[in-house]
Structure 1
Amino acid sequence: MDGQKAEANGVSGQTQKSLADFDPPKKAPRNKYAIGCAILASLSSILLGYDIGVMSGAQIYIQDDLHLSDTHLEILVGILNLYCIIGSLAAGRTSDSLGRRKTIVFSAAIFFTGALLMGFATNYSFLMFGRFVAGVGVGYAAMIAPVYTAEISPASSRGFLVSFFEVFINGGILLGYVSNYVFSKLPTNLGWRFMLGIGAVPSIFLALSVLAMPESPRWLVMQGRLSDAKKVLNRTSDSKEEAEVRLADIKAAAHIPLDCQDDVVAVPKKVSHGNDVWKELLIHPTSSVRHILIAAIGIHFFQQSSGIDSVVLYSSKIFEKAGIKSNDQKLLASIAVGFVKTVFILVATFLLDRIGRRPLLLTSVGGMIASLVTLGFALTVIEHSDTKLMWAIGLCICTVLGFVATFSIGMGPMPSVYCSEIFPLKLRAQGTSLGVMTNRVISGTVSMSFLSLYKAITIGGAFFLYAGITSVGWIFFYFLLPETKGKTLEEMEVLFGNLCWKFDQKKKNENLGNVEGEGNGQVQLGARG
C-alpha cells in the first residue's frame, strides 16, 4: 500500500514537473537603476517642452507689449526650432569627445543662460538673441537624452525607458501652460517675462541630476575603459549574463577583441572620437545604413509635418478661431491640451515594449489623420457660419484633444525611441543628431508658417493639408519601418538594408505556406496509402 502511494506520489510529482516545463517563464522585474538613470537623463526634455508650452500663452502678451505683427510673432515663436539645429549637430561630436554626461550638463548651462536672457529682454532683438541661446541648449538636450537612455537601457525595456524623453517633453508643455495661467495675472510687461525666465529653474535641476548618473557604457567602451563599462552594464542589465552579452556586442562594434580582459585598452581615435563618421553616414553608406538613415529622417519629418506644433504652440489661436474669446478660457483650454497629451504619453510608455513599435505607430497615425480631417471640417463650418455653433465649437475642442491624444500614444515618442536604437554604435550620435536636425527644421518651418498658411488657405484648409501629409507618412511607415522590439542595439543593422523588405517578407510567407501545403498533401496521401 505504501509502495503504491509512493509510486502515485512519484507520478504526481513527474506530472507537476512536466506541467511546470510548459509554464511561461516569469518576466524579470524592470531594472530600477536603469529606470532612475533614464528619468534623470530625460529631465533635459523638460527644457524643450516648457518652451513650447510657455510660448503658446506668452505670445498673447508679448504681441501686446512689444506691438508685434503676426509675421514677427510667428518668427519669434518658431525660430527656436531652427536654432536647435546648431545644438543638435554640435552635440553629436561633443558627446563623442567629452562623453554623454558632460554634454547633458553643457546643454543645461546654455539653456539656463538663454532663459535668463529672455526673461530680462527689453525689446524684440534682445528677445530673439535669448531665443537663439536657449535654442542651442535645447538642441543639445534633444539629441543627447535619447542616445544616453538607449545606451544605458536593457533591450527588454528600452522602448519604455527611451519614451521617458517624450513623457518629460509633455510634462514640460503642461508646466508651460500652467505657468502661463499663473503669471497671466501680472501686468502685461511683467507676466510674459516671468513666464519665460522661470524656465531657468529646470535647467538647474538637470545639471545637478548628472551627479547621480553613470557614464554611458557604450561611450566608455569607445574610450577603451572596459572595466568601467562592465560595472555600469552589471548595474543596468536584467542579469549578469545579459551584461556579458551586451559588453561582448559593444566590444565587437568598437573593434575590440572579444577575449580582451584588460581594464583599459587603446582604441583607434577614429572610433573613440567619431572620426570619418559623416563619410560613412552620408558619402559612402552601406545599404543598411542608407535604409536606417531614410527611416530616421522620415519618421522625424512626418512627426512634425503632421502639424503638432501648430496645435500646441497656437492652441490659443485655434480656440479663438473656434469661438472662444476670453484669454482665461483659452489658457484653461490649453491646459486641458497639455493634460491630455501628458496622460496619453504615459500610456504609450507601457505599450511600446508590449505591443511593439509598428502597431502602435500605425494606429497612432491613423487616429491623427481622422482627428485632423474632423478638426478641419469643424473649423471650416464655423468660419462660414454667421451664428455661434456650440456643437462645432465642442467638436473643435474634442478633436484637438483627440489629435494630441493619438499623437502622444505612438507618434510622439516613436522618433526618439526608434532613432536612438537603429543606428550602429559608431554612427549613433551623429545619426541621431541628423534626425533631431530634421525634426527641428520641419518644426520651425511649420510653426513659423502657420499664421500665414491659414490666412492663405483658411484655418480649416491648413488642417486638411496636415491630414494629407500625415496620410503619406502612414504609407511610409508601413513599407519602410521594420519592427525593432526586443532586439539588442547591435542586432539592428541586420533588420535594415532592404527597402523592399515588406514585399520580400510577403513572398517568403507565401512560399512557406506553399511548402507547408505540399507537406500536408504528402502526409494525407501517405495516410491514404
Structure 2
Amino acid sequence: MGLLFNTFIAAFSSIGAFLFGGIIASVLTMTRFEAHFGANPSIQGAIVSTFSGGCFFGAAIAGWLNDRYGRKRTIQFGSFIILWGCAMQTGAHNTATLIIGRIIAGFAIGILSMTVPLYNTEIAPPKIRGFLVGLTQECIGVGFLVANWVGYGCQFINSDASWRLPLALQLLPAGLLLVGIQFLPYSPRWLLEVGRDEEARKVVYILHDTRGSAELEEAAEKEYNEMHDTIKAELLLRSRKISDLWATHAMIKRTLISCAVQIFTQFTGINIISYFGPLMWQSLGMTGGKALLMQGIYGVVGPIATLIFIFFIVDRVGRRKPLIFGAATFVATFSIVAAILATNPVADASSRPADPGAQIAGIAMIFLTNIVFSASFGPVSWVLASEVFPTSTRSIGTSVATCCNWAFNTMLSQVSPIGINNIGYKFYLVFVCFNFVNLIVIVLFFPETKGKSLEEMAELFGDSILDVERTENRREDKTSDNDAKYDS
C-alpha cells in the first residue's frame, strides 16, 4: 500500500492543480468567442500572457506561503483563488473582466505550480521520486487533453455557452482539490521544520506502510532519522533571504540549474503549440473544426508518452540524458517545420490548398515534438527544479525557478501569435536556436541527480569543506547565544 498511497497523493495533488492551462487554446478560435472578444493577435496574446503573468507573481509569493503555512494549506489557498478567477472568466462580458479573471486564476496556478512539485518531492522515496514528481507533467498532459476535446465538442454549441462552458469546467478540479487535499498528509519535512516531530515520524511510517513489517519499520526509521538530523541542523542556519541562493558556489550551481531547466522548458517551444495549436494547424492549411480536431488528437499522445517515460525510464536513465535527447530532437523538428512552411506557404483558407505531403510531414513533426517533450523536459523539469535544493532554501529556490518558468512563458505567450501571423516560418527558427543553446548548456553543466536522497545532494553539488566549517561555526555561535540568553 505504501507505493499506491504515494502514487495517489502525487496524482491527486497534481490533477487538481493542472487542469487549467490548455482550455484557452480550445476557445481562442471559436466563432462565438472571437465575436465577443475579437480576433486580434495582440488581444489573443494578452488573454494568454496575462494568465502567465499572474502565474509569475503567484510563484513569487508561494515560497513564503509554503514556509509559513505548509504545503497542504498553500495548495488549499491556491485552489480557493482559482475558483474566484475561473468564475470571473466564465461570466465575463468584456475583455477587461476576462483578463482580470485570467490574472487571478494565473496567480493561483503560479502558487500551485511551485507547491505541488515541492510537496510531491518531499513525500517521495528517492528511488521513485522521478515517477511521483513526473506525475505533475502527466496530469498537465491529461488536462490539455480534456481541454482540447471539451473545446472540440463545445464548438458545435450555437451560443456563448460554446466558450463559457469550457471555462466553467475549470471550477470542478479546483473544488475537488480544495476539499480533498484536507485528507492528505502534511509534508514530513515541513513538519520537522516547524517542530512537529512526532507527526512527521507518523507520516513517514504511513508513507512506508510499515504495518506488520519489521524491515519496512527499520527503513522508515532510518529515513526519518536522516531527515530529522539534516533538517534540524539546517534550521540553525535557516533564513528566507533570496541572497542565500547565491551565498556559496554550490548554491549558485543549484540555483542556476534549477532556473535553467525551467527556462529551457519554455525555450523548447512546446507551450506555443499548446496555447496556439489551432493557429499552427491553420498555418499548415487546416481551418475551423479540422484545426480543433487535430488539436484534440495531438493532446492524446502527450499523456501516453509521459506515462511510459515516468513509469519505465526516468528513475532508470536519470534526468540528464532525456534532456539532451529532447533538445537535440527539437532542433531537428522545428527546422523541418520551418522548412515545410517556407516552401509550402498557406496564407489563409482562400489560398491554394496545402501540399498533402508537406502537410503530413508538418503534422508529424509537431506530434513528434509533443511526444519527445513529454518524455524529456516535461516531467524532468519539475523533478530537477525541486530536488536540487537543501531544506534551508528549498521553498524559496523552487519559487524562484518557477518564477523563471512563468516569466518566459508570459513573454513567449505574448509574442507568439504576433510572430506566427507576421513572420510565419521564420518564427520557428527562433526555437531552433533556443534548443541548440539548451543542448550545449545541458551537455556541459547539468549533473545527474537520480537515486539521490534530498539530503545527499550536498555531496553531488560539491558543498566545500569551507562551507561546512562556516556552517559549524554559525551553528556554534547560535548555540552560544541561546545558552547566554538562558543563563541571563
* TM-score, normalisation: structure 2: 0.88
Query: 2:337 matched to which residue of 1?
Result: 375
Answer yes or no: is 1:438 the counterpart of 2:390: no
Q: How many residues align?
A: 451
Paired AA for residue 352 in structure 1:
V
Report the 3-state secondary structure (helix = DSSP H, G, I; strand = E; otherwise coil) of the residue aligned with 1:413.
Answer: helix
Q: CA separation in 1, counterparts of 2:308 and 2:2? A: 17
Which shifted more, 38-47 or 81-90? Answer: 38-47
**Of 21, 37, 40, the match for 2:12:** 40
> What's the CA shift string for 1:110-158, capped at 9, x where partnerless?
1111111100000000101101110111011101100000100111100
Answer yes or no: is 1:401 the counterpart of 2:367: yes
Q: CA separation in 2, counterparts of 1:129 and 1:240? A: 51
> What's the CA shift string for 1:294-352, capped at 9, x where partnerless?
00111111110221111111110111110112x21111100111101111111111211
Q: CA separation in 1, counterparts of 2:226 and 2:441? A: 31
Query: 1:57 matched to which residue of 2?
Result: 26
Ranges of 4+ aligned residues in structure 1 off by more than 4 Å: 384-387
CA contact (8 A) 1:45 1:172 kept: no
C-alpha RMSD of the superposition: 2.0
CA contact (8 A) 1:63 1:73 kept: no
**Of 184, 187, 192, the match for 2:163:** 192
Computing the radius of gyration over CA atoms, which structure comes out larger, 1 or 2? 1
Report the 3-state secondary structure (helix = DSSP H, G, I; strand = E; otherwise coil) of the residue aligned with 1:330.
Answer: helix
Q: Extract unaligned runs of 5+ from structure 2.
A: 210-215, 464-488
Query: 1:357 matched to which residue of 2?
Result: 319
Q: CA separation in 2, counterparts of 1:78 and 1:276? A: 29
CA contact (8 A) 1:115 1:200 kept: yes
Shift of 1:30: 6.8
Shift of 1:387: 5.4
Q: Extract unaligned runs of 5+ from structure 1.
A: 1-28, 258-266, 499-529
Change in CA separation of 1:45 and 1:374 when aligned onto 2, cut-off 3 Å: farther
> What's the CA shift string for 1:452-504, capped at 9, x where partnerless?
22344x22111121011111101111111111111000111221249xxxxxx
Paired AA for residue 475 in structure 1:
I
Change in CA separation of 1:384 and 1:99 when aligned onto 2, cut-off 3 Å: closer
CA contact (8 A) 2:56 2:107 kept: yes
Q: CA separation in 1, counterparts of 2:39 and 2:426? A: 25
Change in CA separation of 1:44 and 1:88 when aligned onto 2, cut-off 3 Å: farther
> What's the CA shift string for 1:418-447, capped at 9, x where partnerless?
111110011111111111100011111111
Paired AA for residue 26 in structure 2:
G
CA contact (8 A) 2:2 2:206 kept: no
Report the 3-state secondary structure (helix = DSSP H, G, I; strand = E; otherwise coil) of the residue aligned with 1:323.
Answer: coil
CA contact (8 A) 2:240 2:396 kept: no
Aligned ranges 1:464-479 → 2 under 5 Å = 464-479=429-444
**Of 445, 450, 455, the match for 1:485:** 450
Q: CA separation in 2, counterparts of 1:153 and 1:81? A: 28
CA contact (8 A) 1:45 1:166 kept: no
Aligned ranges 1:149-160 → 2 under 5 Å = 149-160=120-131
Q: CA separation in 1, counterparts of 2:342 and 2:190? A: 52
Answer yes or no: is 1:245 the counterpart of 2:214: no
Query: 2:385 matched to which residue of 1?
Result: 419
Shift of 1:234: 1.4
Q: CA separation in 1, counterparts of 2:447 and 2:195? A: 32
Report the 3-state secondary structure (helix = DSSP H, G, I; strand = E; otherwise coil) of the residue aligned with 2:152.
Answer: helix
Answer yes or no: is 1:447 the counterpart of 2:431: no
Aligned ranges 1:154-173 → 2 under 5 Å = 154-173=125-144
> What's the CA shift string for 1:14-49, capped at 9, x where partnerless?
xxxxxxxxxxxxxxx9722211211122123323xx
Q: CA separation in 1, counterparts of 2:430 and 2:59? A: 29
Q: Using CA pairs below 8 Å that are at least 6 residues apart, which structure has the higher relative contact order?
A: 2
Paired AA for residue 488 in structure 1:
S
Query: 1:82 matched to which residue of 2?
Result: 53
CA contact (8 A) 1:419 1:432 kept: yes
Paired AA for residue 140 in structure 2:
I
